[in-house]
Amino acid sequence: MQVRLSGYRKKLAMALAIVFILLLWQVAAWFLPDFLMPDVPTVMARLWEEIQSPNFRAALWGSLFRLGTGYGAALLFGIGFGLIGAVLFFFREVLKSAIIILQSIPSIAWVPLFLILMGFGNLPIIIVVALAAFFPAALSVMNATESVQQVHVSAARVMGATRWDLLKRVYLPAVMPELITGAQLAFGNAWRALISAEMLIGFGKGLGRGLAYAGETADMVGVMTGILTIAILAPLIDQLVLENMKHRLLRYQYV
């Protein structure tokens, strides 16, 4: 029997995890020189200054734009192809085989190719983000469609359901829990790919570019501020957007 934690206990667990990480960081700062490991209060003060800076806000919105565009495209195509594979079995096997081969390549490895093809700009980063998120999104939906009970599919066909009806009324509701889980996994991949691509490409303003620049100039306070920002934003987006969406779409599981 699966035991679910209450909302209060989940928040308490998250708070304790944050305190533990900050404590480890502070202990490391006590034993290392300041120029190697700044302490927590120093980085927090720097983060507060950065938040009020127009450059920081421009970098934040630049990263969020690339993330939203790439991640949104990945979900659209991943879910769409995954559902199409439910009714076109040969297409599903071909797509699954291609994903198994291609997902073994780190998304960041595509950056040099896309830079040569597209030049510097937002597009190479967006495509890298989309590639990183597409694979888990498509695979989760395709795997879920395989577990849909055939009796439901047969009953729908007997009632005259078309392939579109099967996708909309049988497969989509059945795969919704796995779809949401796949979307959360895809977000983690997309977020890591975004920061890595911005650090490597170094185009425009972005959180990854700011972190890379701080490292290039040996600004350890800036480095830790960038890491802290990245660590805060990812779970914040996951909890405020994806987790709320999960609760809305899967209300029956949380009653």
Q: Which domains does the chain have, with CATH numbers?
A: 47-253 (1.10.3720.10)
The reported pLDDT for the residue numbered 250 is 61
The reported pLDDT for the residue numbered 255 is 40
Distance of CA 254 to the CA centre of its chain: 23
Residue 98 amino acid letter: A
The reported pLDDT for the residue numbered 194 is 92
The reported pLDDT for the residue numbered 129 is 93
Contact criterion met (CB below 8 Å) for 22 and 40: yes
CA distance 85 to 145: 8
The reported pLDDT for the residue numbered 71 is 93
Nearest to 191 by CA among 18, 60, 57, 63: 63
The reported pLDDT for the residue numbered 56 is 87
Using 50 as the pLDDT threshold, list the residues of the chain that sit under it: 1-3, 151, 252-255
Contact criterion met (CB below 8 Å) for 84 and 117: no
Residue-wise pLDDT for 2-12, tens only, equals 445 556 777 78
Up-side HSE of residue 108: CA atoms within 13 Å toward CB?
A: 13
CA distance 206 to 214: 12
Residue-wise pLDDT for 21-35, tens only, equals 888 888 888 888 878
Say which residues have a Cβ less than 8 Å from residue 203's Cβ, sequence separation at least 6.
120, 121, 122, 125, 209
